[in-house]
A and B are shown apart, each in its own frame.
Chain A
Amino acid sequence: MIGLKHILGGFAAASLLASCGSNEGNGSEFRFAKTAITQAIQARRDAKAGVQPAPLTRESLAQYQTPMQKGFLPSLNMTAYFVPYGQNGDVETWFSSDKKSVSFRQGVMVATRGFGPDLMQSVAPGIGTIASGSGSYDRVYFYLDGADQVVRREYRCELANLGPETVTVVDRQHSTRHVTETCSGKGPGFTNDYWFENGTFLRKSNQLLVSEWGPIQFERVIDSR
């Protein structure tokens, strides 16, 4: 069943699709709508045909000369690869080729951009705290709502050490220690997972983007060159 806003949205999208002109606005909407529709159609076809994206291999990674993380958003079945772009103080911002960015403080995601419902800022524990695998603290996430107003979501989080685990990242096995961070607040709670290698190096993690969309799953696929 579709609502009026979908009908209106369809109308708006249709009229944009049919528009052209010199104006930057026209062009980008056109591209946006077209890309979104093409992707949706392709995703549906792939799902029907059981198509999986081409698997990442060590050979395909060998061509890159930069540290790289794979980010996968299960709720949208979306994958992007992030490389370091900028640094401000102790926060490092990584970019993907489709212009999404994720900012980490020593591996702990503190902000995102380009996803839509972005994590604007956050109050998060340091990597050392999480790696310790025990204790509890408050987390605060800042978002923008549908009317562009700042929304503050507060959680109480508790750490748990699940012990050693072997994880496989692009054909390579890593001995890690699995730590979970379970957070609860007013709305739905969530659990972040961290797989530490050699102390505080994050090989893999699941970190919440927004509770409606769930976590982004990060894998460190290239350590450094």
Chain B
Amino acid sequence: MLLTHLPRRTIFGLTTALVALGATAAEPETRATLNFNGVTGLIDMPSGESQPDGALNISTTHFGPISRTTLTFQITPRLSGSFRYTAVRDWRARVPGNFDTYYDRSFDLRYLILKEGQYVPAVTVGLQDFIGTGILSGEYIVATKNLSPKLKVTGGLGWGRLGSFGSFAEIGTRTSINVDQGGTVNTAQFFRGPVSAFGGVEYQYNDKLSFKAEYSSDNYDTEAGFRQTFDRKSPVNFGVEYQPNDGIRLGGYYLYGSEFGVAAHFLLNPRQRVAGAVTSAAPYPIEPRPSRSADPDAWSPEWVTQDGIAPVLIKNMNKRVVDDGIVVEAISYSSSTVQVRFRNNKLDAEAQAVGRVARAMAAILPASVEVFEIVPVVNAVPAAKVTLRRADIEALEFAPDAATALRARATVGDVGPRPAGLSYDPELYPVFEWGLGPYVKTSFFDPDNPVRADLGVRLSARFEPAPGVVLRGSAIKRLVGNLSDSTRPSNSVLPRVRSNANIYDREGDPAIESLTANYYTRLGQDLYGRATIGYLEPMFGGVSGEVLWKPADRDYAIGVEINYAKQRDFDQLFGFQSYGVATGHVSGYYKLPGNYNVQLDVGRYLAGDYGATLSLDREFENGWRVGAFATLTDVSAEDFGEGSFDKGIRLDIPVTWFTGAPTRKESVGVIRPLTRDGGARVNVDGRLYNELRDYQASGLDGQWGRFWK
């Protein structure tokens, strides 16, 4: 996993397809709380409720020898998914085994099939550890009903480990788990074998304090039975939980008649910025034109004949937007229409950048200009054209819900052919930018040391000699850390395109992360191109070409990318190893209603394997993204190794969400339970889809309210 500040939108990924099920939330009488598995529930048992739509929690829970850390996301109002890392200590304290501490990763899915009503309970069906090695695997159907404003009861039926204690029936046969490589969906086990009842109560004493008691149907056969890591004396658990604010919930427990436990749940809501609202400097108010009768000279169209007017207008507009991190690059003009091309280096909301440019145009341009064509450019490539009537901007500035009113009169579409008289700011190019800052690089799930991290400094630079030509690179120097301690050798039978990561960590200090020359261009209507050559990423260098068809006012796109990638030396300086591969993909993108972005990539991967990657991201208008991806290729599960196929989840959090100060920066985290060599893609910075779509209709519309901010 990488958790670091990367340039906006640089990480790709994929997922299992999930159907978006919209529904309005019924008001629960008490809040839905979380259990030791980090999912909605009692203490060790699940409950029938769900978390609020979009809620994300990170839970860390501990009792006896067992610790669990879980990330859970409420994907839709009814569907949630979890990723969990479990550690069981004293694994061979009494019974011989391979390791002191047993570590396991697991995925859960839960679906709320019935919402709580006046007489009906909330009912949820869940799959626990449905795709892993299966030691935690269990299925359940569970109901929860509020009996009074403070008291709710839960009852359910469990299979698998949730049917391991006090079973009263058996449904079919639960086949033994294939623990070879894990990673396969254990469908043959679902809702099979012994079934047990579980249940409990939760009493919410007040807003902050609640008490829980439950009857657990988990016998801990492996942990307590075979391995004797703790003594399970009783099925009854007790707990008290305290929630001082919306962001954290803490609990203390007595479990299984023998162990004390603690839990901490960190609760995040992507829709609620930590710092409250975004605080940017107030914009210049719209300066309306004088009436034609009051000042006829101001309306004269003769200004277009003045020599050298373009640089003057560019300069004056830039004075108005410089504090917003906006740069007006070029304009074209007639007496009635002006097109302004600008780049946005700072504002997190693209619509706000468009709004600030509109205000600058209203202030600077002669009165005869009635049509504003505002063209955001990314790497000098025009992403879209927002066309506004100046009279609308003047009239609507203080109108009720001015955003909706203005959007109805604005058009967002393809930029069209390059205007004949487009003139660039003569002082703009070459552009040089640099940055020096800290970086954090992490590695998770190595059984020798589940959490490793490096902290160091990163120097990055970017040089643009001419529009569309970008030279950029970054280098890092480690200051402290233990990533280099990892000595576990790769056991991969495939070309080791990713599994030697620890050697790269060890030998790359200092390391050149990337150093590339790029050319970006608009090839035609709705058609964009990119060419990249150089050290593409820490492990590969080479050449990369991409063509993307993305209509500016549509929610879909198709792209083709072809690369030749050669493996870099472990020291991540200038040399290469012998392995090289032609790799590439055809990609389809579609933004589904409800802000779900789905992407399918089909092609050849770094190890020479052929296959496809499916990814699904839940996106929020403020830049948050939570997604999952999975890749299946012609590499067999056996050749792939542990995990059977490549999969993971990713989080994309705008830094503005934390600080409240506008910035284009994001914190990007990709969590792969296992990084192996199958289904691996080369990481190329600046892929077109995510660079462009933020400035197109699908990106602007969701946050159009920021136009007036």
> By the criterion CB–CB under 8 Å, are A150 and B403 in contact?
yes
Known: A19-B436, A86-B285. A123 touches B277 (CB 8 A): no
Confirm or deny: B429 has a beta carbon within 8 angstroms of a beta carbon on chain A.
no
Known: A5-B268, A115-B279, A116-B277. A152 touches B659 (CB 8 A): no
> By the criterion CB–CB under 8 Å, are A9 and B274 in contact?
yes
| One of B24-32, B39-47, B661-669 contacting the partner | B661-669
Closest chain-A Cβ to B619's Cβ sits at a distance in Å of 10
> By the criterion CB–CB under 8 Å, are B404 and A12 in contact?
no
**Complex: chain A residue closest to B349, CB-CB:** A148
> By the criterion CB–CB under 8 Å, are A16 and B285 in contact?
no
Confirm or deny: B270 has a beta carbon within 8 angstroms of a beta carbon on chain A.
yes
Residues of chain A with a CB closer than 8 A to B322's CB: 24
> By the criterion CB–CB under 8 Å, are A6 and B247 in contact?
yes
Confirm or deny: A147 has a beta carbon within 8 angstroms of a beta carbon on chain B.
yes
Q: B247 is contacted by which of A4, A111, A113 (Cβ under 8 Å)?
A: A4
Residues of chain A with a CB closer than 8 A to B19's CB: none
Confirm or deny: B287 has a beta carbon within 8 angstroms of a beta carbon on chain A.
yes
Confirm or deny: B519 has a beta carbon within 8 angstroms of a beta carbon on chain A.
no
**Complex: chain A residue closest to B58, CB-CB:** A4
Residues of chain A with a CB closer than 8 A to B275's CB: 9, 116
Closest chain-B Cβ to A214's Cβ sits at a distance in Å of 14
Known: A25-B665, A147-B271. A20 touches B437 (CB 8 A): yes
The CA of A114 and the CA of B5, in the complex, are separated in Å by 26
> By the criterion CB–CB under 8 Å, are A19 and B345 in contact?
no
Known: A18-B437, A29-B661. A5 touches B247 (CB 8 A): yes
Residues of chain A with a CB closer than 8 A to B432's CB: 22
Q: Mark A69-98, 1 if CB is under 8 A from B, else 0.
A: 000000000000000011011010101000
Known: A29-B663, A99-B281, A148-B702. A120 touches B658 (CB 8 A): no
Closest chain-B Cβ to A93's Cβ sits at a distance in Å of 4
> By the criterion CB–CB under 8 Å, are B435 and A123 in contact?
no
Closest chain-A Cβ to B673's Cβ sits at a distance in Å of 21
Residues of chain A with a CB closer than 8 A to B400's CB: 121-123, 140, 142
The CA of A120 and the CA of B394, in the complex, are separated in Å by 16
Confirm or deny: A118 has a beta carbon within 8 angstroms of a beta carbon on chain B.
yes
Residues of chain A with a CB closer than 8 A to B441's CB: none
> By the criterion CB–CB under 8 Å, are B661 and A150 in contact?
no
The CA of A99 and the CA of B305, in the complex, are separated in Å by 37
Closest chain-B Cβ to A39's Cβ sits at a distance in Å of 12
Confirm or deny: A103 has a beta carbon within 8 angstroms of a beta carbon on chain B.
yes
> By the criterion CB–CB under 8 Å, are B706 and A24 in contact?
no
The CA of A117 and the CA of B277, in the complex, are separated in Å by 5
Closest chain-B Cβ to A136's Cβ sits at a distance in Å of 19
The CA of A120 and the CA of B404, in the complex, are separated in Å by 12
Confirm or deny: A167 has a beta carbon within 8 angstroms of a beta carbon on chain B.
no
Known: A5-B247, A15-B438, A25-B325. A120 touches B402 (CB 8 A): yes
> By the criterion CB–CB under 8 Å, are A121 and B245 in contact?
no
Q: B437 is contacted by which of A1, A15, A105, A149 (Cβ under 8 Å)?
A: A15
Residues of chain A with a CB closer than 8 A to B702's CB: 148-149
Looking at chain A's contact residues, is the secondary structure mostly helix, strand, loop, or mixed?
mixed
Residues of chain B with a CB closer than 8 A to A142's CB: 400-402
> By the criterion CB–CB under 8 Å, are B622 and A146 in contact?
yes
Q: B709 is contacted by which of A13, A85, A120 (Cβ under 8 Å)?
A: A120
Confirm or deny: B535 has a beta carbon within 8 angstroms of a beta carbon on chain A.
no
Q: B622 is contacted by which of A33, A95, A147 (Cβ under 8 Å)?
A: A147
Known: A22-B432, A144-B709, A146-B271. A110 touches B398 (CB 8 A): yes
The CA of A4 and the CA of B38, in the complex, are separated in Å by 15
Confirm or deny: B433 has a beta carbon within 8 angstroms of a beta carbon on chain A.
yes
Residues of chain B with a CB closer than 8 A to A25's CB: 325, 345-346, 663-665
Q: B435 is contacted by which of A20, A113, A121 (Cβ under 8 Å)?
A: A20
Interface residues of A in 22-55 (CB under 8 A from B): 22-26, 28-29, 32-33
The CA of A21 and the CA of B276, in the complex, are separated in Å by 27
Closest chain-B Cβ to A67's Cβ sits at a distance in Å of 16
Indicate the member of A5, A85, A112, A152 with the most B CB atoms within 10 Å: A5
The CA of A9 and the CA of B658, in the complex, are separated in Å by 5
Confirm or deny: B248 has a beta carbon within 8 angstroms of a beta carbon on chain A.
yes
The CA of A100 and the CA of B432, in the complex, are separated in Å by 32
Confirm or deny: B579 has a beta carbon within 8 angstroms of a beta carbon on chain A.
no
Residues of chain A with a CB closer than 8 A to B245's CB: 1, 3
Residues of chain A with a CB closer than 8 A to B288's CB: 88-89
The CA of A152 and the CA of B271, in the complex, are separated in Å by 16
Confirm or deny: B286 has a beta carbon within 8 angstroms of a beta carbon on chain A.
yes
Confirm or deny: A62 has a beta carbon within 8 angstroms of a beta carbon on chain B.
no
The CA of A1 and the CA of B270, in the complex, are separated in Å by 21
Residues of chain A with a CB closer than 8 A to B272's CB: 146
> By the criterion CB–CB under 8 Å, are B271 and A145 in contact?
yes
Confirm or deny: B703 has a beta carbon within 8 angstroms of a beta carbon on chain A.
yes
Give the size of the chain B interface in residues (CB under 8 angstroms): 75
Residues of chain A with a CB closer than 8 A to B440's CB: 15
Indicate the member of A33, A100, A112, A147 with the most B CB atoms within 10 Å: A147
Residues of chain B with a CB closer than 8 A to A19's CB: 435-438
**Complex: chain A residue closest to B57, CB-CB:** A4
Residues of chain B with a CB closer than 8 A to A123's CB: 400
Closest chain-A Cβ to B393's Cβ sits at a distance in Å of 10
The CA of A148 and the CA of B248, in the complex, are separated in Å by 24
Confirm or deny: B266 has a beta carbon within 8 angstroms of a beta carbon on chain A.
yes
> By the criterion CB–CB under 8 Å, are A88 and B658 in contact?
no
Closest chain-A Cβ to B402's Cβ sits at a distance in Å of 5
Residues of chain B with a CB closer than 8 A to A3's CB: 245-248, 266-267
The CA of A23 and the CA of B655, in the complex, are separated in Å by 15
Residues of chain B with a CB closer than 8 A to A95's CB: 282
The CA of A36 and the CA of B639, in the complex, are separated in Å by 54
> By the criterion CB–CB under 8 Å, are B277 and A88 in contact?
no
Q: A16 is contacted by which of B394, B404, B460, B659 (Cβ under 8 Å)?
A: B659
Confirm or deny: A101 has a beta carbon within 8 angstroms of a beta carbon on chain B.
yes
The CA of A112 and the CA of B279, in the complex, are separated in Å by 12
Q: Mark A133-172, 1 if CB is under 8 A from B, else 0.
A: 0000000101011111110100000000000000000000
Residues of chain B with a CB closer than 8 A to A144's CB: 277, 705-706, 709
Q: A150 is contacted by which of B58, B244, B401, B438 (Cβ under 8 Å)?
A: B401
> By the criterion CB–CB under 8 Å, are B433 and A1 in contact?
no
> By the criterion CB–CB under 8 Å, are A88 and B271 in contact?
no
Residues of chain B with a CB closer than 8 A to A146's CB: 269, 271-273, 276-277, 622
Closest chain-B Cβ to A181's Cβ sits at a distance in Å of 18
> By the criterion CB–CB under 8 Å, are A101 and B285 in contact?
yes
The CA of A6 and the CA of B248, in the complex, are separated in Å by 10
The CA of A15 and the CA of B457, in the complex, are separated in Å by 11
> By the criterion CB–CB under 8 Å, are A148 and B437 in contact?
no
Closest chain-B Cβ to A110's Cβ sits at a distance in Å of 6
Interface residues of B in 277-329 (CB under 8 A from A): 277-288, 322-323, 325
Known: A4-B248, A142-B401, A152-B401. A21 touches B433 (CB 8 A): yes
**Complex: chain B residue closest to A117, CB-CB:** B277
Residues of chain B with a CB closer than 8 A to A147's CB: 270-271, 620-622, 624
Closest chain-A Cβ to B491's Cβ sits at a distance in Å of 35
Residues of chain A with a CB closer than 8 A to B434's CB: 21-23
Closest chain-B Cβ to A120's Cβ sits at a distance in Å of 6
Q: B401 is contacted by which of A15, A110, A121 (Cβ under 8 Å)?
A: A121
Question: Can you pick out 11 interface pairs between chain A and chain B where the beta carbons lie within 8 Å of each other?
Answer: A8-B274, A12-B655, A22-B432, A32-B661, A86-B284, A95-B282, A110-B398, A120-B403, A120-B709, A121-B400, A147-B620
Closest 4 CB pairs of A and B: A3-B247, A21-B435, A4-B266, A19-B437
Interface of B toward A, CB cutoff 8 Å? 5, 58, 244-248, 250, 266-288, 322-323, 325, 345-346, 349, 394, 397-404, 432-438, 440, 460, 620-622, 624, 655, 658-665, 667, 702-703, 705-706, 708-709
A-B contacts besides A29-B665, A148-B621, 16 pairs, CB < 8 Å: A4-B266, A12-B659, A13-B658, A18-B437, A20-B436, A23-B345, A26-B435, A28-B663, A33-B659, A33-B661, A88-B285, A103-B398, A121-B400, A147-B620, A148-B706, A150-B403
